[in-house]
Structure 1
Amino acid sequence: MAKWDNMLAMLWMLRSGKKLTAAQIADSLEISVRTVYRYIDALGASGVPVVAESGHDGGVHILESFSETPLFFNALELKALVDAYKFAVGAGYPYAKELESALKKVENGLQEEQRHDLSLLTSGLDVIAPSRPPSVVPLLRELELAVKDGRTVHLTYHKVNSAQADERDADPYGLAYDRSEWYVVAFCHQSRAMRTFRVDRIAALKLTDACFERPEQFSVSDYFRSQAEEERQEDGPLAVIRIEGEPDTLNKLCSNWHLRHYLTERNDREARFLLDVPSMNKYLPKYLLSFGTSIRILEPVELKLLVQDRAREISRHYMDDAD
């Protein structure tokens, strides 16, 4: 265990209020008694009132006046905080500056050796952020405020492949970050139904004076899953679909917007899905053909035959061109 991890473990041991001998601490942490005394000095220098008393009733303890334990993290906890900040920045998290400020406060409380170790631990990971318009961050902040306060918003929104933006009022129920994009799920007054809006397509947003009450227990992730269920072709018997491939290919397959909701099992060589037969027959043959020979359908046989038929159609099409 690293030095700072041992010091943290020792501090939590002493928080119990009991007196412990240096030998007891050394045995518990599997370090030497001499090292225990070095840790006592280091904790004292950090502001922790650790006392080592000699004699029959002596031992190591923390003074009763010490009511709050200073904020200590082990090396991996510190690394996790820094890495989480990198991911937040990469995702366009609207409170990244506040997160950076909090992280600076933590880092300022570290010893020089800790800061050096942290720099080494976190130097191997970077998050490549996609390009986003600067307006996304203030939009996310305003939308989150509207969700919290139950305020209706007026949106100027650009639909896909639409030359003009349209105006609408909406009650935002929650935000989601999915496939490197931010979305707001809202009840649209214009369509009188729940809708999903991509935040980077919002040209303008204004909080109105109107208020709404969000349904209890509403979950954005549950809404996304329910939408995927509704997009099935029709009700029908379910089929177990087994597909074999290399890990990278399966990663791409399993991240498909529709298929990922039906994934039931996955390992490095195989992915299993549970999907209704009508949807399987209509959508999967064409999609799976795009993977060529990098995947193999293990079951069901019906899906294999459909893919074979589609491949033969393509082959005949180009054979006719050759003639």
Structure 2
Amino acid sequence: MAKWDNMLSMLWMLRGGRKLTAAQIADQLEISVRTVYRYIDALGASGVPVVAESGHDGGIRILDGFKETPLFFNALELKALLDAYKFAQGAGYPYASELESALKKVESGLEEDQRHELSGRTGGLDVIAPARPPSVVASLRDLEQAAEAGRTVRIAYRKANAEQIDEREIDPYGLAYDRGEWYAVAYCRRSLETRTFRVDRIEKLEPTEARFEKPVRFSASDYFRDQSEQARDADGPLTLIRIEGDPDALNALCGHWHLRHYLTERTDRDARFQLDAPTMIKHLPTYLMTFGTRIRIKEPLALKRSVRELALRIAAHYDEGPD
């Protein structure tokens, strides 16, 4: 076990007023008694009031009143935290600056050998962030605060390819990061429906005096999944769909806004979905044709036949002779 893992284990062993001898700690952690005393010195330097008392009733303990437990991370845990910050920053996470500040506090409490090891492990991963309007971060913060406070906001929203800005009042229920974009799931007071709004298309946002109550246990991710379920053509038994293909094609297939909700298993060679037969036959053949020979449908037979028939109709369409 690494040094910092051992120190954390030792700290947990001593919490709650327990008193242990150096030999007992050494035996449980499978280290030497000499190492135990080195850890005592290191914990003391980190602000933990740990003492070693000699004599018949002596032992190692933490002084009463100690409330705060210092954080000890191994190198991979620290790397994971810093890499998570890179992803958050790349996604446009609205509290990335606060996250960076928190990480600096963690780093400031590290020992020199931890900082040195960490610097050697964090240079191999970068997140290339898409270009976003600077207003997105501010809008995300305002929307989240409005959702928490139950306050209606007025937005100026520009739909895709629309020339005019559309103003409306919405009750923001929550935010979701999906396919590289931020979305607000909100109740639109004009259409009287719950809808999604891409945050980067909100050109202006201001609070109103109106209030609302968010649905109990609302989840933006559940809303997206429910919308996908509503796109199905039938309830009832689900059909297993198994498709082989190259990794890039499978990545695109599994990332499809609708199909990804029905993905049950994915390997480097194939992907498996479960979808009702009517929806499968109605929507999948045309979409799967766009992958050409980069994928192969293994099952069900009905889907293979539908794609084959579609391909034959397309071939016949272009085989009617010269124009």
Fold shared by both chains (TM-score > 0.5)? yes
> Do 2:151 and 2:209's aligned partners in 1 also have CA atoms closer than 8 Å?
yes
Once structures 1 and 2 are overlaid, which stretch shifts more, 115-124 or 61-70?
61-70
| Alpha-carbon distance in 1 for matches of 2:116, 2:257 | 42
> Do 2:5 and 2:72's aligned partners in 1 also have CA atoms closer than 8 Å?
no
| Alpha-carbon distance in 2 for matches of 1:65, 1:158 | 57
- Does the alignment pair 1:143 with 2:143? yes
> Do 2:262 and 2:273's aligned partners in 1 also have CA atoms closer than 8 Å?
yes
> Do 2:170 and 2:188's aligned partners in 1 also have CA atoms closer than 8 Å?
yes
| Alpha-carbon distance in 2 for matches of 1:43, 1:8 | 9
Deviation at 1:121, TM superposition (A): 2.6
One-letter code of the match for 1:161?
Answer: N
Once structures 1 and 2 are overlaid, which stretch shifts more, 43-52 or 82-91?
43-52
5 Å-filtered alignment, 1:86-235, equals 86-234=86-234
Deviation at 1:289, TM superposition (A): 1.6
| Alpha-carbon distance in 1 for matches of 2:237, 2:70 | 59
Once structures 1 and 2 are overlaid, which stretch shifts more, 250-259 or 262-271?
262-271
Structure 1 counterpart of 2:314: 314
Task: Indicate the SS of the match to 1:121.
Answer: coil
One-letter code of the match for 1:68?
Answer: E
- Cα deviation 1:48-96 (Å, max 9, x = unaligned): 2222233333322222243433333333332222222111111101111
Task: Indicate the SS of the match to 1:122.
Answer: coil
Deviation at 1:103, TM superposition (A): 1.3
5 Å-filtered alignment, 1:39-54, equals 39-54=39-54
One-letter code of the match for 2:72?
Answer: F
| Alpha-carbon distance in 1 for matches of 2:10, 2:124 | 30
One-letter code of the match for 2:226?
Answer: S
Task: Indicate the SS of the match to 2:232.
Answer: coil
Task: Indicate the SS of the match to 2:297.
Answer: strand
| Alpha-carbon distance in 2 for matches of 1:133, 1:119 | 31
> Do 2:85 and 2:96's aligned partners in 1 also have CA atoms closer than 8 Å?
yes
> Do 1:91 and 1:180's aligned partners in 2 also have CA atoms closer than 8 Å?
yes
Deviation at 1:321, TM superposition (A): 6.1
The alignment covers a number of residue pairs equal to 323
| TM-score normalised by structure 2 residue count | 0.92
> Do 1:133 and 1:200's aligned partners in 2 also have CA atoms closer than 8 Å?
yes
| Alpha-carbon distance in 2 for matches of 1:60, 1:321 | 93
Once structures 1 and 2 are overlaid, which stretch shifts more, 143-152 or 22-31?
22-31
Q: Equivalent pairs: percent with the same residue?
A: 71
> Do 1:241 and 1:274's aligned partners in 2 also have CA atoms closer than 8 Å?
yes
- Does the alignment pair 1:275 with 2:275? yes
One-letter code of the match for 2:99?
Answer: L
- Does the alignment pair 1:302 with 2:302? yes
Deviation at 1:212, TM superposition (A): 1.3
Q: CA 1:20 to 1:264, structure 2 compared with 1: closer, same or farther past 3 Å?
A: same
Task: Structure 2: state its 5+ residue gaps.
Answer: none
| Alpha-carbon distance in 2 for matches of 1:121, 1:8 | 22
- Cα deviation 1:94-125 (Å, max 9, x = unaligned): 11111111111111111222211222232222
Task: Structure 1: state its 5+ residue gaps.
Answer: none
> Do 2:17 and 2:62's aligned partners in 1 also have CA atoms closer than 8 Å?
yes
> Do 1:82 and 1:122's aligned partners in 2 also have CA atoms closer than 8 Å?
yes
Task: Indicate the SS of the match to 1:305.
Answer: helix
- Does the alignment pair 1:27 with 2:35? no
The CA RMSD over aligned residues, in Å, is 2.0
Deviation at 1:185, TM superposition (A): 0.8
| Alpha-carbon distance in 2 for matches of 1:8, 1:235 | 52
> Do 1:236 and 1:278's aligned partners in 2 also have CA atoms closer than 8 Å?
no
Once structures 1 and 2 are overlaid, which stretch shifts more, 191-200 or 275-284?
275-284
Deviation at 1:2, TM superposition (A): 1.8
| Alpha-carbon distance in 2 for matches of 1:213, 1:314 | 52
Q: CA 1:123 to 1:28, structure 2 compared with 1: closer, same or farther past 3 Å?
A: farther
Deviation at 1:243, TM superposition (A): 1.4
| TM-score normalised by structure 1 residue count | 0.92
Task: Indicate the SS of the match to 1:103.
Answer: helix
Deviation at 1:235, TM superposition (A): 5.2
One-letter code of the match for 2:133?
Answer: P
